[in-house]
Amino acid sequence: MDETAVPLDGTWVPQACTLPTVRRPLRRSEFDGLFTSAVRSVERVDQLRLRLELVPEPAVAARAADLLVRETECCSFFTFTLTATGGRVSVEVAVPAGHVDVLDALADRAGAGAGAGS
């Protein structure tokens, strides 16, 4: 573990996160719900980027957008890019080098949940 992250129930939460500790399990649950119900595949593009292919439905895109906007309010180091094109919806997640451990944990959780709800 590096100095930028602290363990929280088996996940890595960076010290830079401003979400109140009491609300973190709910946010983690929201991500897990998205992963199990809407993520079709997970691809590690490179060390600093992750791509999630989502079920291509407007409600899924809206749900993802809402969650991602709220996440950047407390963890501003994330860059989320939501793309809808050609009948596909995807989210690219990027982090600076100092937060690779957070992206690793997110990739693990997304990979474990992907397709579970299909």
List the CATH number of the domain containing 36: 3.30.1360
Relative orientation angle of helices 24-38 and 58-74, to the nearest 10 degrees: 150
Using CA atoms, how far apart are residues 17 and 54, in angstroms rounded to an integer? Answer: 25
For residues 11-38, give the mean pLDDT: 84
Domain that holds residue 45: 16-113
pLDDT over threshold 70, residue 117: no
pLDDT digits (tens, 9 = 90+) for 64-76: 999 999 999 998 9
- Asked whether residue 28 is domain-assigned, the answer is yes
pLDDT over threshold 80, residue 10: no
- Asked whether residue 73 is domain-assigned, the answer is yes
Q: What is the pLDDT of residue 24?
A: 85
- Asked whether residue 101 is domain-assigned, the answer is yes
- Asked whether residue 11 is domain-assigned, the answer is no
- Asked whether residue 1 is domain-assigned, the answer is no
Using CA atoms, how far apart are residues 49 and 114, in angstroms rounded to an integer? Answer: 17
Tell me the β-bridge partners of 8.
11
For residues 39 and 115, the model is more confident at: 39
- Asked whether residue 6 is domain-assigned, the answer is no
pLDDT over threshold 90, residue 50: yes
- Asked whether residue 3 is domain-assigned, the answer is no
Domain count, the chain: 1
